[in-house]
Amino acid sequence: MPLCFLFLKIESMAQKLWEKNVQVDHEVDLFTVGKDREMDLYLAKYDVLGSMAHITMLESIGLLTSEELDVLLAELKRVYAVAETGEFVIEEGVEDVHSQVELMLTRQLGDVGKKIHSGRSRNDQILLDLKLFTRAEIQRTVSLVQDLFDVLQAQSERYRDVLLPGYTHLQIAMPSSFGLWFGAYAESLVDDLQLLQAAYRVCNRNPLGSAAGYGSSFPLNRRMTTELLGFDSLDYNVVYAQMGRGKMERTVAFALAGIAGTLSKLAFDACMFNSQNFGFIKLPDQFTTGSSIMPHKKNPDVFELTRAKCNKIQGLPNQITLICNNLPSGYFRDLQIIKEVFLPSFGELDDCLRMVTHMMREVKVNDHILNDERYAPIFSVEEVNRLVLSGVPFRDAYKQVGLEIEAGRFVADKQIHHTHEGSIGNLCTTEIAALMQQVVDGFCFERVNRAEQALLGR
């Protein structure tokens, strides 16, 4: 074959995979592609990984020779390495990541590069890419949550005996402690990861082989690709596999929103407790910003931005729901837009987790808060309980202490003795840590990691 003809033949791959004799209108092209090329860069190495599993299966059913498989795998590993370093690009005129990978293979290997699409559609290809990307991002997020959890647990133990006022209705209520405050957010993260684990289970099922949602006449071995990619199981029904587009993202988004909710609440507390009116904690000066006009200002911008970013993430499930809520079964282009809000959300949440972990590690606490007499009334319940223990009926004790407070005669006894599980005197730090470990172990990331490394030959 003449070299010039080969060049023209290969470059024609830069057209849309679905184009025939009519070229799409330029304005329509820009509108329909939208941000897809930008978003697909998130998915590049996962598209390659999925292709490696797919062609390994194609060779097993006779659609590729062993020689073709060897050269394809070698080239795909090279493309994977490029994607892993962040140097993968989708060229101008190439529609998406799937087209770019196929173009790169065809440039290097000729017609054999075109064989990788047998038995699949871009529909199940993007479903697979999204699931591989999402489960990897979940693993990264879990690790960052663990880091924050460990810091909160350590601070809970470090300041377990330092008291501060607890609040209801933003009114001083009862004695609390920094042990409880730090520990509460640690335990909240345990529940957040429990929900994320459930979302991970929805994610970690294999859609490959569902093609455009109606399967294939090729004798595909879907169980083989499931094993090669380390999935827990198949998305068995091919129509349901396509119906899972949007549903998986929404389910994971709800779990991310749970973590974001915990961070947002912690950020609010930190901003409030850091203010001069409270003075419960102090952020190191290097973690605050100043004012262009007020020289005394030390603003907790990191926590304020964390609060805003996490509140944005808490809106993510609604965004995804509104995009796909009124769609019937089958594929629709509407689903493309989900990538724009979903894919970047992991990085945004991870950034917040890193910053909050750093801030919580360095925060200083005020260990003399309750010396201020304005907080004396929070010990009123302790006095009521002492009277009850001495034989006074609870209602009578409550009324007696209430009248003393109103008359200004109440004298607080600031010695407290809470012993039950989860109280000031019994934080259950060890039990909470064990619960967290149980949840993290339940993800079984090792199985996925082993499968991917085996596929890559590492």
Cα distance between residue 205 and residue 240, in whole Å? 12
Please give the torsion angle defined by the CA atoms of residues 62, 67, 71 and 72, in that order, rounded to the nearest 10 degrees: 0
Give me the half-sphere count of Cα atoms (radius 13 Å) on the Cβ side of residue 186: 30
Q: Which residues contact 86 (CB under 8 A, 6 or more apart)?
A: none
Q: Which residues contact 366 (CB under 8 A, 6 or more apart)?
A: 164, 279, 280, 281, 282
* C-alpha 115, offset from chain centre: 35
* Sole residue written with tokens 């005020």: 366
Encoded tokens for 32: 């329909």
Residue 276 DSSP class: T
Task: Give residue 316's identity as a one-letter amino acid code.
Answer: L
Q: What are the C-alpha distances in Å from 223 to residues 175, 231, 234, 235, 237?
A: 57, 10, 7, 10, 13
Predicted local distance difference test score (pLDDT) of residue 18: 43
Predicted local distance difference test score (pLDDT) of residue 38: 85
Predicted local distance difference test score (pLDDT) of residue 15: 52
Q: Which residues contact 155 (CB under 8 A, 6 or more apart)?
A: 178, 182, 360, 361, 363
Q: At what angle do helices 336-362 and 122-158 cross, to 10 degrees?
A: 10
Encoded tokens for 203: 């994610």
Cα distance between residue 37 and residue 46, in whole Å? 15
Q: What are the C-alpha distances in Å from 446 to residues 337, 451, 452?
A: 32, 9, 10
DSSP string, 154-220: HHHHHTTT-EEEEEETTEEEEEEEHHHHHHHHHHHHHHHHHHHHHHHHHHSEE-TT-TTTT--SS--
Residue among 46, 327, 329, 320 at smallest CA distance from 210: 329
* C-alpha 453, offset from chain centre: 23
Instruction: Identify whether the C-beta of residue 137 lies closer than 8 Å to the C-beta of residue 144.
Output: no
Encoded tokens for 166: 């607890």
End-to-end CA distance of the chain: give it in Å, rounded. Answer: 37
Q: Is 289 helix (H, G, I), strand (E, B) or coil?
A: strand
Q: Is 365 helix (H, G, I), strand (E, B) or coil?
A: strand
Q: Assign residue 279 a region (left: φ > 0; alpha: ψ between -120 and 50; beta: otherwise).
A: left
Predicted local distance difference test score (pLDDT) of residue 101: 96
Predicted local distance difference test score (pLDDT) of residue 358: 96
Question: What totals of helices (H) and strands (E) does the chain contain, helices first?
Answer: 18, 6
Predicted local distance difference test score (pLDDT) of residue 21: 53
Cα distance between residue 219 and residue 216, in whole Å? 8
pLDDT in tens, the chain (458 residues): 433 333 334 444 445 554 555 666 667 766 766 777 788 999 999 999 999 999 999 999 999 999 999 999 999 999 999 999 999 999 988 889 999 999 999 999 999 999 999 999 999 999 999 999 999 999 999 999 999 999 999 999 999 999 999 999 999 999 999 999 999 999 999 999 999 999 999 999 999 999 999 999 999 999 999 999 999 999 999 999 999 999 999 999 999 999 999 999 999 999 999 999 999 999 888 877 877 788 787 888 899 999 999 999 999 999 999 999 888 988 888 899 999 999 999 999 999 999 999 999 999 999 999 999 999 999 999 999 999 999 999 999 999 999 999 999 999 888 888 989 999 999 999 999 999 999 999 999 999 999 999 999 97
Q: What are the C-alpha distances in Å from 340 to residues 33, 229, 315?
A: 12, 25, 14
Task: Give residue 20's identity as a one-letter amino acid code.
Answer: K
Q: Is 401 exposed, middle or buried (0-12, 13-18, 19+ CB in 10 A)?
A: buried
For the entire predicted model, the pTM comes to: 0.91
Residue 423 DSSP class: B
| Ordered structural domains, the chain, with CATH | 3-118 (1.10.275.10), 124-165+176-370+429-455 (1.20.200.10), 372-427 (no CATH)
Instruction: Identify whether the C-beta of residue 306 lies closer than 8 Å to the C-beta of residue 355.
Output: yes
Predicted local distance difference test score (pLDDT) of residue 296: 80
